[in-house]
A and B are shown apart, each in its own frame.
Chain A
């Protein structure tokens, strides 16, 4: 067994023991941590099944050439625009963006677009931005988007180029 999985098993089982003991001995902090765990798991369960079903359908139905053309090395600046548009419809947050990014990458999207997609799905999701604007004002959201998007695209291009020169590849389960 890999060292990584041993560490994981140790972490998860000691956590489970801690939770069990907390409930047996009525230990407040342990119970509160259980509630945190449950509420976050529920939040993710609302999104993840759909996200992974869509990923599976994407893998089967979308042709590699289509992704290469619009998101790949020859897509130019349009690839970045598509990355941002796709990101704006992403739900959940980074934890959904990573598996989607991996699927895009395995279908031939270039690294710069992948990082743009991840960055943009953190900051330009449409429902989130509307929510943000309603609590903090339109000016606040506008400044954030106008500053963030160019920075995300530029740094993603640089990071993508740098990694491509070093023959970096994304592999599931590193």
Chain B
């Protein structure tokens, strides 16, 4: 994370040295863009805070551990799509589940949909891309996640042996 601050700081310094006026203009654009999208971010945060309460980690662990792997993949994709968590929470959780015996393909479906399919980021995505394209992109992403899960299952010898 720190390198992000370093790069932003450096970029700002360079920009200020090159032209104070243009930097000010840039910051005005930053501010305007941020304010425009802020309501959508707030809606997303409201949704995230409620969904994470309804579907906490414990529930996710429970559902991913089901006996039937195909059911597990479908459940995992569903949970991954409707929740949102940063990688530093999601991967340790996946690591714990792996040790508990959850299949790789189920974890793959969960982590990939978590990152690619955004039901909760819908308010933001819709703001830029419109409803139709947002639904199309998310549907495609869900299919990609399922394909990845199946290939993962094959390579780890979990299915079609």
Interface range on chain A: under 10, 10 to 19, 20 to 34, or 35 or more?
35 or more
A143 to B144, CA, bound (A): 13
Interface segment among A67-75, A76-84, A147-155: the answer is A147-155
Which of chain A's residues 74-116 have a Cβ closer than 8 Å to chain B?
91, 93-95, 98-99, 101-102, 115
- Residue of A53, A93, A171 most packed against chain B (CB within 10 A): A53
Identify the closest chain A residue to B11 (Cβ): A57
- Which residue numbers of A lie inside 8 Å of B, CB to CB? 5, 8, 11-12, 15, 29, 32-34, 36-37, 40-41, 43-44, 46-50, 52-57, 59-61, 91, 93-95, 98-99, 101-102, 115, 118-119, 122-123, 125, 127-128, 131-132, 134-136, 139-140, 143-144, 147-148, 151-152, 155, 159, 163, 168, 170-174
- Which residue numbers of B lie inside 8 Å of A, CB to CB? 1, 4-5, 7-8, 11-12, 15, 18, 22-23, 25-31, 33-34, 36-37, 39, 41-46, 48-50, 52-53, 84, 86-88, 91-92, 94-95, 98, 104, 107-108, 111-112, 115-116, 118, 121, 124-131, 133, 136-137, 140-141, 144, 147-148, 151-152, 155-156
